Amino acid sequence: MIDKNAAIYIAGHHGMVGSAIWRALKSKGYHNLIGASSKELDLKEQEDVREFLRKIKPDVIIDAAAKVGGIMANNDFPYQFLMENMQIQNNLIGEAHKLGVNKFIFLGSSCIYPKLALQPLKEEYLMTGSLETTNEWYALAKISGVKLCQAIRKQYKKDFVSLMPTNLYGIHDNFDLNSSHVLPAMIRKFHEGKENNNASVILWGTGKPMREFLFVDDMAEAVVFALENELPGHLYNVGSGEDITIKELAAIIQKIVGHTGQIIWDDNKPDGTPRKLLDVSKMHKIGWKHQVNLEQGIQKTYNWFLENIENFKEKIY
């Protein structure tokens, strides 16, 4: 067990995932949580990271920091997505090792797995095929982080572990239609449609692809589980182990939001990968399982959306 007074540094603590981890740890009595904003610490600068870590002397580091974006951003800025993510994780992992930190939790993404891998995606499928071209730069960076943690674990016997989440959503999500993912984008579109006399809502694709979703607080609980236990392996998928079609997702969100207008599917827009489901049996076997079902999670997310509409940078209506 990790002492409740252990110094735990959460990189990326202002983001959706990092803030959920912070809340989860606080609720369980961890007192010495440390964070730094991007203005206070540029994780891409090795000397700054080295000086910061030597100053705070963390017992544990949780890496929830990354440069993230949608398909368009990945396509337009491949160099930044590869280089900046490698800089961030290499600085944190390398300096943690030099400083003698024995517990490191690295968070990645399910995009590390091959585009055409069998479903559901098992951890052993890593590096067995070509990546999805729309986000290969981000995926390559995350793969290098996984392998770096594995190398330290193998060579130096340190408890460095990687957790690969499925599609996350929840409190502090991104509702900007230019860069948000499918679930928060639908919440906003249906809300705007409802407020506009239940106007029709246009959604991309056919609605046939299947996707898996995990409420971000469940992801945070998986991180706490990894913190409080020494996991036997180096890589674990974190998800619900359940998927639904995009059309089914739209129906659930429409009902929760209270939109009663028509849904128009624009099948001129791409569907993306037909299915992407994680095999989470390894996490289930060692004792972790998600607790928040999809309807509960969407309701919690929509409630937060309503409470924070005034804080969004762009105008909602």
Bigger pLDDT: 247 or 316?
247
* C-alpha separations of 244 from 107, 207, 250, 276 in Å: 24, 10, 10, 10
* Helical ranges in 198-311 per DSSP H: 216-228, 246-257, 281-286, 294-307
Question: Average pLDDT of 63-81?
Answer: 88
- Please give the annotated binding residues for substrate, written as ranges: 189, 204, 211, 271
Q: Tell me which residue has tokens 């000397």.
A: 47
Cis upstream peptide for 120 (omega within 30°): yes
Phi, psi for residue 19 in degrees, rounded to 5:
-70, -35
Q: What is the pLDDT of residue 317?
A: 40
Q: What is the pTM assigned to this prediction?
A: 0.94
Q: What is the pLDDT of residue 176?
A: 85
Q: How far apart are CA 311 and CA 272, in angstroms?
A: 32
Question: Average pLDDT of 143-149?
Answer: 98
Question: Average pLDDT of 254-281?
Answer: 93
Q: How far apart are CA 217 and CA 24, in angstroms?
A: 7
pLDDT class of 72 with cuts at 50, 70, 90: confident
What tokens appear for 30 in the block?
């961890």
What tokens appear for 156 in the block?
């130096």
- Please give the annotated binding residues for NADP(+), written as ranges: 12-18, 107-110, 142, 165-168, 181
Q: How far apart are CA 68 and CA 260, in angstroms?
A: 33
Contacts of 268 (CB under 8 A, 6+ apart): none
Residue 40 has pLDDT above 80, yes or no: yes
- Please give the annotated binding residues, written as ranges: 12-18, 107-110, 142, 165-168, 181, 189, 204, 211, 271
Q: Where are the domains of the chain?
A: 8-173+212-243+275-292
Element (H, E) at 21: helix 16-27
Q: How far apart are CA 252 and CA 302, in angstroms?
A: 12
- End-to-end CA separation in angstroms for the chain: 49
Q: What is the pLDDT of residue 312?
A: 64
Least confident piece of the model among 4-8, 130-134, 149-153, 155-159: 130-134
Helix, strand, or coil (residue 60): strand
Residue 11 has pLDDT above 70, yes or no: yes
Q: Count other C-beta atoms under 10 Å from residue 89's C-beta.
A: 25
CATH class of 8-173+212-243+275-292: alpha beta
Residue 274 has pLDDT above 90, yes or no: no
Q: How far apart are CA 207 and CA 189, in angstroms?
A: 15
Q: How far apart are CA 88 and CA 91, in angstroms?
A: 6
- From the CA atom positions of the chain, what is the Rg in Å? 20
- Range list of β-strands (E), the chain: 8-11, 33-34, 60-63, 103-107, 159-165, 167-169, 201-204, 210-215, 235-238, 243-245, 263-266, 275-276
Question: Average pLDDT of 31-41?
Answer: 97
Cβ pair 214, 238 in contact under 8 A: yes
Which active-site residues does the annotation give? Answer: 138
The per-residue pLDDT of the chain, averaged, comes to 95
Do you know the residue count of the chain? 317
Least confident piece of the model among 177-181, 195-199, 237-241: 177-181
* C-alpha separations of 154 from 148, 149, 157 in Å: 10, 9, 6
Helix, strand, or coil (residue 191): helix
Cβ pair 76, 67 in contact under 8 A: no
Residue 70 has pLDDT above 80, yes or no: no
Share of the chain above pLDDT 70, in %: 98
